[in-house]
């Protein structure tokens, strides 16, 4: 299904992956398990011979979700629920849902109550990452997830199967990392939209299959430096709709680094395949970067952005703000001030799932980058 | 005339002394620890750290209708009006110094327990950055229904409480005294029993207390639990309410108490007394909510103090599953013979409010009682539509009347 895709195919499927997931499930007879961001160890789900799919909203209209989640709830949470309630729910045999913030505090309850016939499990990753107990708890939760899936399916993978799953995921991250490097250094080769489509589809398709496509795509690329690109850093959790990447491409902005959960945070931390897989997965949890709902050093966000900016020699930071994401909204004023104080240009891009009109995004981004060119660039 | 102080006088005395102690903490060699209303504050008390609750200070300002003034200042600093009004008004207080109290002392450390919400963690992070101060997050995973998972969650929480003790020892350079903690736990356990007894007096008909009494009465449980004076306060309060019960005195006279109501969520602080009067005019008394019960702990003194602390803080209503929360509310419906419910969708409190539509569906189905749902904000008056709320309350009572749900003891 996803073994021999062209870059163009990947972009089209990333826009709406569900028909292909549906066909894959029908052809293979395997079950599909959905999860939402962030940090659910998909390697574990995959080791059970299931397809882990990261649910990243729908662009179809909201019909049922507003009666469960009010309009001041994060638009991604509403969009995900809508996708399951109205459009693709039958595709999933189960869900593993993380508790990460106030919006997701009771979200797995809402899903469980609305899908009484499906497997619904919570994944309670620690919301602190600055003490030894956090590592203890990640390991406990991974073990509990294995127990829970095992109880549901009546079988449990051994360490070999877990390590094999980890290897497939490592390969996926490595391939995406190499493609990112090509894009970073030769922005004329892959557009922002194409690259982040590969990222997104990797979170939703069978990794072993899509790895083959990524490898072929990578081998077929001819590096093109391109002209007049401006290197930027993308900071945030996710970036949607994908047309935002069209805008960035139109403005000839080259994303050379990011902190997105469905971006670099997915790529961070290769997992060892030589030891205990649960220990190795727990280790990976702490190799990943800042994620707003997890408490850590209160300056970590800024320090990471600053380092990324300096390391990549980017010209500006674009902060992708998801409307009603409370975690981001507490961080943003201080982050903005610290970044500005450092002399780093920052542009805040307000987004909302289900957004149809992006003209304001284009106008504002255009104005920002024009002023930048007239100034420090 | 008796020399014994009334509960009101006692509350004032305790509060004045507490704030005096807080403002002179450094002179007395103590640290000031900001913490969340639901947090294992017993460890602070046992270690002589003065707990300060920015939420309580925010309530005082919001009840006095300072919300718009303080929140507007914060919006000009780049914070959106979607955020918790407690946090916004607190940031506004930091910026302007405006407060209806004498304010609160600055913090030395922070303890955020996410059993109530994650907002407090983010709020404390903002404050911590201003002074480069340490934040300890006591992470309480949702108290999911799986028994084995619950045992593991408690183990994780005990581990964190041990880390918290090390953190406190490091910050104060003093050894933690476990015997002192046991003593503090005795007070906490005793005051919790009395606090619950006070809340449960709403079972009587007519009810001698409404939720508005409970909201005033809960203050000492929030900020002075773990002390002898807290026990004394609730003993006095219980005695006073019992005297009302003995005399048959209710919030409304027995023949006018038509509707005994459940309230979901925190109150609309700036409409506190208006709501009591308005509902009373329809024969309605709000008796209770899960919110006020959040401080009626059941500490088991036969257990390791850290275990019973972990068990109690992790199973608060705000950290329980919606199904468990519905069971807790259903128990209250039965116990207090309630025949109406007001479900408040509080824009400020996402952690509690996003469960409300689902909770409402379960409760109306179980009890057969219709619910009044309204959306507003606990502290920001700009989100309160006066006429709309009044109209809905009026319509709700008409519905209850039509369904014949009024208490049979009330006058027709």
| Phi/psi at B144 (5° precision) | -65, 165
The CA distance from A125 to B233, in Å, is: 40
Nearest to A134 by CA among B159, B41, B124, B143: B159
Residues belonging to chain B: 412
The CA distance from A206 to A53, in Å, is: 9
Query: How close A100 gets to chain B, by Cα (Å)?
Result: 9
Strands (E), A66-217: 94-98, 119-123
B330 is written with which tokens? 């259903």
Residues from chain A contacting residue B149 (CB–CB below 8 Å): 144
Hey, are the CB atoms on A105 and B347 less than 8 Å from each other?
no
3-class DSSP string for A258-291: ECCCCCHHHHCCCCCCCCCHHHHHHHHHCCCCCC
CATH number of the domain bearing residue A139? 3.40.50.11890
Q: How many helices (H) and strands (E) does chain A have?
A: 15, 8
B9 is written with which tokens? 């006088």
| Beta carbons of B125 and A330 less than 8 angstroms apart | yes
Q: Among A108, A139, A292, A326, which would you mutate to test the B interface (most chain B Cβ atoms within 10 Å of its Cβ)?
A: A326
Q: Among A114, A285, A295, A331, which would you mutate to test the B interface (most chain B Cβ atoms within 10 Å of its Cβ)?
A: A295
Half-sphere exposure of A59 (CA within 13 A, CB side): 12
Nearest to B297 by CA among A133, B120, B305, B238: B305
The CA distance from A275 to A277, in Å, is: 6
Structural domain of A138: 28-155
pLDDT of residue B2: 60
Helix-helix angle A277-285:A132-153, to 10 degrees: 130
Is A19 among the domain residues?
Answer: no
Reported ipTM: the value is: 0.95
Is A42 among the domain residues?
Answer: yes
pLDDT of residue B409: 55
Hey, are the CB atoms on A106 and B125 less than 8 Å from each other?
no
The CA distance from B69 to B339, in Å, is: 38
The CA distance from B340 to B256, in Å, is: 15
DSSP-assigned states of every residue in B113-161:
ETTT-SHHHHHHHHHHHHHT--EEEE----B-S-HHHHHHHHHHHHHHH
Q: How many helices (H) and strands (E) does chain B have?
A: 17, 8
| Beta carbons of B254 and B205 less than 8 angstroms apart | yes
**Number of inter-chain CB pairs under 8 A, A vs B:** 133
Nearest to B92 by CA among B126, B44, B43: B126
Tell me which residue in B78, B142, B375 faces A122 most closely, judged by beta carbons: B142
A interface with B, Cβ–Cβ below 8 Å: 67-70, 72-73, 99, 101-103, 105-110, 113, 122, 124, 126-128, 131-134, 136-137, 140, 144, 293, 295, 298-299, 324, 326-327, 329-334, 336
Q: In chain B, whose CA is at the least distance from the CA of A136?
A: B156
Hey, are the CB atoms on A144 and B149 less than 8 Å from each other?
yes
B 317-356 residues with CB < 8 A to A: 318-319, 321-323, 345, 347, 350-351, 353-355
Query: How close A292 gets to chain B, by Cα (Å)?
Result: 9
Is A8 among the domain residues?
Answer: no
Is A116 among the domain residues?
Answer: yes
Burial (CB count <10 Å: 0-12, 13-18, 19+), residue B189: buried
Is A362 among the domain residues?
Answer: no
pLDDT digits (tens, 9 = 90+) for A292-324: 999 999 999 999 999 999 999 999 999 999 989
At A1 the three-state DSSP class reads coil
Sheet holding A230-236, edge to edge: A253-258, A230-236, A316-322, A346-351
At A320 the three-state DSSP class reads strand
| Beta carbons of B56 and B37 less than 8 angstroms apart | yes
pLDDT of residue A375: 52
Cα-based angle B216, B217, B222 (whole degrees, multiple of 5): 95
The number of domains in chain A is 1
Tell me which residue in A113, A299, A334 faces B358 most closely, judged by beta carbons: A113
Query: Residue-wise pLDDT tens for chain A (377 aa)?
Result: 999 999 999 999 999 999 999 999 999 999 999 999 999 999 999 999 999 999 999 999 999 999 999 999 999 999 999 999 999 999 999 999 999 999 998 999 999 999 999 999 999 999 999 999 999 999 999 999 999 999 999 999 999 999 999 999 999 999 999 999 999 999 999 999 999 999 999 999 999 999 999 999 999 999 999 999 999 999 999 998 889 999 999 999 999 999 999 999 999 999 999 889 999 999 999 999 999 999 999 999 999 999 999 999 999 999 999 989 999 999 999 999 999 999 999 999 998 887 778 888 889 988 898 888 765 44
| Beta carbons of A356 and A265 less than 8 angstroms apart | no
Query: How close A271 gets to chain B, by Cα (Å)?
Result: 24
B195 is written with which tokens? 């606090």
Is A111 among the domain residues?
Answer: yes
Is A69 among the domain residues?
Answer: yes
| Phi/psi at B339 (5° precision) | -135, 25
Q: In chain A, whose CA is at the least distance from the CA of B345?
A: A70
Hey, are the CB atoms on A137 and B141 less than 8 Å from each other?
yes
Hey, are the CB atoms on A105 and B354 less than 8 Å from each other?
yes
B138 is written with which tokens? 């006591």
Query: Residue-wise pLDDT tens for chain B (412 aa)?
Result: 567 899 999 999 999 999 999 999 999 999 999 999 999 999 999 999 999 999 999 999 999 999 999 999 999 999 999 999 999 999 999 999 999 999 999 999 999 999 999 999 999 999 999 999 999 999 999 999 999 999 999 999 999 999 999 999 999 999 999 999 999 999 999 999 999 999 999 999 999 999 999 999 999 999 999 999 999 999 999 999 999 999 999 999 999 999 999 999 999 999 988 988 999 999 999 999 999 999 999 999 999 999 999 999 999 999 999 999 999 999 999 999 999 999 999 999 999 999 999 999 999 999 999 999 999 999 999 999 999 999 999 999 999 999 998 876 555 4
User: Could you tell me the end-to-end alpha-carbon distance of chain B, in angstroms, rounded to an integer?
Assistant: 41
Q: Which residue(s) pair with A54 in the sheet?
A: A35
Is A316 among the domain residues?
Answer: no
| Beta carbons of A86 and A64 less than 8 angstroms apart | yes
The CA distance from B365 to B353, in Å, is: 19
| Beta carbons of B123 and B90 less than 8 angstroms apart | yes
Who's near B283: CB < 8 A, 6+ residues apart?
B252, B256, B257, B258, B259, B397, B406, B410
pLDDT of residue A374: 65
A11 is written with which tokens? 């972009």
Helix-helix angle B119-131:B54-63, to 10 degrees: 100
Query: How close B86 gets to chain A, by Cα (Å)?
Result: 13
The CA distance from A35 to A55, in Å, is: 6
Residue-range domains of chain B with CATH? 7-402 (3.40.50.11900)
The CA distance from B247 to B254, in Å, is: 12
Q: What is the model's pTM?
A: 0.96
Query: How close B370 gets to chain A, by Cα (Å)?
Result: 17
Nearest to A198 by CA among A211, A208, A186, A188: A211
Hey, are the CB atoms on A67 and B357 less than 8 Å from each other?
yes
| Beta carbons of B7 and B195 less than 8 angstroms apart | no
pLDDT of residue B411: 52
Residues from chain A contacting residue B80 (CB–CB below 8 Å): 329
pLDDT of residue A377: 42
Q: Answer positive or negative: Cα dihedral of B335, B336, B338, B342.
A: negative
């Amino acid at each position: 299904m996803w073994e021999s895709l062209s870059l163009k195919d990947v972009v089209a499927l990333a826009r709406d992956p569900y028909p292909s997931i549906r066909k894959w499930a029908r052809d293979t007879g395997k079950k599909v398990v959905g999860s939402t961001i962030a940090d659910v160890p998909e390697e574990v789900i995959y080791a059970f011979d299931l397809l882990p799919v990261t649910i990243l909203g729908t662009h179809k209209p909201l019909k049922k979700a507003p009666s469960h989640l009010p309009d001041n709830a994060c638009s991604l949470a509403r969009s995900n629920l809508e996708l399951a309630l109205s459009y693709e729910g039958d595709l999933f045999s189960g869900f593993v849902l993380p508790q990460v913030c106030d919006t997701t505090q009771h979200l797995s309850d809402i899903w469980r109550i609305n899908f009484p016939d499906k497997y619904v499990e919570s994944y309670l990753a620690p919301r602190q990452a600055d003490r030894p107990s956090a590592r203890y708890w990640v390991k406990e939760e991974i073990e509990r997830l294995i127990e829970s899936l095992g109880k549901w399916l009546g079988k449990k993978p051994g360490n070999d199967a877990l390590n094999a799953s980890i290897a497939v995921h490592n390969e996926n991250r490595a391939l995406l990392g190499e493609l990112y490097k090509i894009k970073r250094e030769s922005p004329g080769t892959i557009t922002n939209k194409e690259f982040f489509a590969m990222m997104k589809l990797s979170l939703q398709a069978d990794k072993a299959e899509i790895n083959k496509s990524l490898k072929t795509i990578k081998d077929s690329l001819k590096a093109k430096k391109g002209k007049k690109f401006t290197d930027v850093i993308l900071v945030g959790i996710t970036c949607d709709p994908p047309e935002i990447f069209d805008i960035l491409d139109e403005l000839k902005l080259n994303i050379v680094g990011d902190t997105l959960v469905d971006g670099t945070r997915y790529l961070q931390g290769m997992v060892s395949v030589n030891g205990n897989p649960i220990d190795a997965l727990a280790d990976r949890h702490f190799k990943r970067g800042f994620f707003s709902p997890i408490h850590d050093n209160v300056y970590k966000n800024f320090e990471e952005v600053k380092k990324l900016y300096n390391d990549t020699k980017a010209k500006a930071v674009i902060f992708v703000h998801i409307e009603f994401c409370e975690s981001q909204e507490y961080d943003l004023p201080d982050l903005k001030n610290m970044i500005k104080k450092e002399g780093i240009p920052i542009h805040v891009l307000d987004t909302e799932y289900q957004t149809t009109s992006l003209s304001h995004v284009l106008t504002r981004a255009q104005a920002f980058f024009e002023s930048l060119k007239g100034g420090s660039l | 005339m008796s020399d014994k102080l009334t509960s009101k006088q006692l509350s004032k005395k305790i509060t004045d002394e507490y704030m005096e102690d807080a403002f002179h903490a450094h002179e007395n060699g103590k640290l000031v620890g900001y913490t969340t209303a639901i947090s294992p504050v017993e460890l602070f008390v046992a270690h002589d750290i003065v707990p300060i609750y920015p939420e309580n200070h925010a309530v005082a300002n919001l009840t006095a209708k300072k919300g718009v003034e303080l929140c507007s200042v914060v919006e000009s600093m780049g914070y959106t009006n979607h955020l918790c009004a407690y946090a916004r008004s607190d940031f506004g207080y930091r910026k302007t110094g405006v407060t209806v109290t004498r304010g609160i002392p600055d913090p030395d450390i922070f303890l955020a327990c996410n059993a109530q919400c994650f907002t407090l963690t983010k709020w404390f992070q903002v404050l911590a950055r201003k002074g480069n101060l340490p934040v300890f997050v006591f992470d309480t995973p949702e108290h999911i229904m799986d028994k084995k998972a619950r045992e593991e969650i408690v183990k994780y929480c005990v581990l964190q409480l041990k880390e918290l003790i090390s953190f406190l020892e490091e910050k104060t350079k003093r050894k933690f005294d476990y015997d002192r903690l046991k003593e503090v736990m005795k007070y906490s356990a005793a005051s919790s029993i009395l606090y619950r007894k006070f809340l449960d007096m709403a079972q009587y008909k007519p009810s001698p207390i409404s939720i508005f009494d409970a909201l005033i009465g809960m203050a000492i449980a929030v900020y002075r639990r773990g002390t002898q004076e807290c026990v004394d306060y609730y003993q006095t309060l219980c005695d006073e309410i019992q005297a009302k019960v003995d005399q048959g005195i209710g919030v409304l006279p027995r023949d006018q108490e038509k509707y005994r109501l459940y309230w979901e969520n925190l109150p609309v602080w700036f409409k506190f007394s208006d709501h009591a009067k308005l509902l009373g005019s329809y024969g309605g008394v709000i008796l209770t909510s899960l919110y006020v019960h959040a401080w009626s702990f059941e500490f088991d003194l036969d257990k390791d103090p850290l275990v019973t602390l972990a068990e109690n803080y992790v199973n608060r209503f705000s950290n329980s599953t919606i199904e468990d929360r519905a069971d807790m509310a259903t128990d209250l419906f039965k116990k207090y013979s309630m025949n109406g419910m007001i479900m408040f969708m509080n824009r400020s409190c996402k952690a509690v409010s996003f469960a409300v539509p689902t909770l409402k569906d379960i409760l109306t189905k179980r009890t057969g009682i219709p619910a009044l749902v309204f959306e507003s904000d606990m502290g920001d008056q700009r989100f309160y539509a006066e006429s709309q709320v009044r109209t809905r309350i009026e319509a709700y009572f008409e519905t209850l009347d039509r369904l014949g749900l009024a208490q049979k003891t009330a006058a027709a």
